[in-house]
Amino acid sequence: MPDSETSRPEARAPRGFQDRRSRDVRAERAILAQVSAVYERYGFEPLDTSAFEYADALGKFLPDAERPNEGVFALQDDDAQWMALRYDLTAPLARFAAQTWETLPKPFRRYAFGPVWRNEKPGPGRFREFVQCDADTVGSARPEADAEIVAMAVEGLEAAGLPRGAAVLKLNDRRLLDGVLRAARIDEGRRKLIVMRAIDKLDRLGWGGVRDLLGPGRLDESGDFTKGAELDPAAIGVVESFFGKVLDRSFETRQAAITALADLEMPELDGPLNGLAEIDTALRALGVADDRARFDPSIVRGLEYYTGPVFEAELLLDTRDEKGQRVRFGSIGGGGRYDDLVARFTGQQVPATGFSFGVSRLAAALRAAGRDPGAEARGPVVVIAFSPERMGDYFAVAGELRAAGIAAEVYLGASGMKAQMKYADRRLAPAAVLLGEDELAAGTVTVKDLDLGRRLASQVADNAAWRTERPGQATIPRAELTAFVRRILEA
């Protein structure tokens, strides 16, 4: 008995997940190939960890052991242990380092890429599955390790398709803010968190909005009120004296920023400022100029995660959506020093620093800036099938092209010549090969240069002349086919 209409499942993708065709897949592959080459040139080795981790290994992402699916996708193993799809690539690294520390070269330098999953509410541009790419050094507390991560991130993003000047990597040290809070005598944990969250909104609200959040609170344009940290005027004045140095002027060099902050004469800032000076020295030795990486003390990031220097890559390109409307991507990657993560497993602090970016987000940003790394994706050469009796001849042609390293396919549908040409065009085929009875008898092939045809079609004024002249079409000896198609590809 056939299935009824009501018993058939609806064809639909799960919310927050997406299907990606060749343009998106090729764009991400191109980015990863270029970035991986940079990371390996710096001596970082690839590491691939399992998609699943035991839920307790994710630590900060597991808010309640009784609700293991909160924030992550989890399931129970046959021994009653909860496993979860990895939330990021850093927690698996911490587990791997703790598990294999005795056998690892120290410091351990690795990069990794792959999908991560987050059980969060999806929205526009916000998916539950996406691809990340990370690079980390575990086991070095030297500021030069942070500098090398910064230099590698800058070079990696440029290799991925962002020309110099299209992005800047901003640096700060979380300990600077901690020092300011100590100078302002803000030591209560909850209040410190409110202050840091307020400062994290500096680029969006400006100092006026942040000052409100440091005081009684802020009423936004929608009428919603956000309660503030309720600091006294003296404490707000200490915080403002620090950020006034940041907001009142634009520093041309990293050293100028360090000098200006040192002039505040807050002893609490001496340690992190010395560390930033060492990072600056290493960056100059690595050839990273001030326009590629600069200090920005307003960068906060990961309030309960990072323990020292923090980094954030900001896109500077003009980006527009498919309708031509300007869109703002802002941050396209970030990272910093996190010296406490491995200690969750071993009880011993192991210094670590790293940088991460969302591959899908970077691909979308490049596309919005007119630099789509998947735009040049080509389909295969399509061999037109005229007659079922001649399929062997068509496959011989496709095999000859494939043997020469050229992607090729024989049309295997049941449509006629016109529909087959439309198929080749939709596949973005660079060329179509026609092998009719006349060509077979004469030992020739007819090749249509579809790339050239697409370019010339935009200039056509007379369709009749177009059909008569057949631009981009040539009949050549069969022996010249591979060389002829290769010239089309290279053009």
Strand partners, 52: 85
- 407-438 tens-digit pLDDT: 999 999 999 999 999 999 999 899 999 999 99
- 211-223 tens-digit pLDDT: 899 889 898 888 8
Overall average pLDDT of the 79-99 stretch: 93
> At how many degrees (to 10) do helices 450-457 and 417-426 cross?
90
pLDDT-based confidence at residue 63 (cuts at 50, 70, 90): very low
**DSSP of 279-315, one letter per residue?**
HHHHHHHTT--TTTEEE-TT----TTT--SEEEEEEE
Higher pLDDT, residue 462 or 204:
204
Overall average pLDDT of the 330-343 stretch: 88
CA-based radius of gyration for the chain: 29
- 70-80 tens-digit pLDDT: 788 988 889 98
pLDDT-based confidence at residue 4 (cuts at 50, 70, 90): low
Predicted pLDDT of residue 244: 67
Residue 65 has pLDDT above 60, yes or no: no
Domains and CATH numbers, the chain: 22-368 (3.30.930.10), 381-490 (3.40.50.800)
Decide: 288 and 154 in contact? Cβ < 8 Å: yes
- 13-31 tens-digit pLDDT: 999 899 988 888 989 999 9
What is the token pair recorded at 179? 């020092």
* Buried b or exposed e, range 326-350, using 16+ CB within 10 angstroms: eeebebbbbbbbbebbbeebeeeeb
Task: Give the whole-angstrom CA distance, residue 222 versus residue 481.
Answer: 67
Please name the residue ranges forming H helices in 370-477.
391-403, 417-426, 437-442, 450-457, 463-469
Predicted pLDDT of residue 199: 80
Predicted pLDDT of residue 386: 94
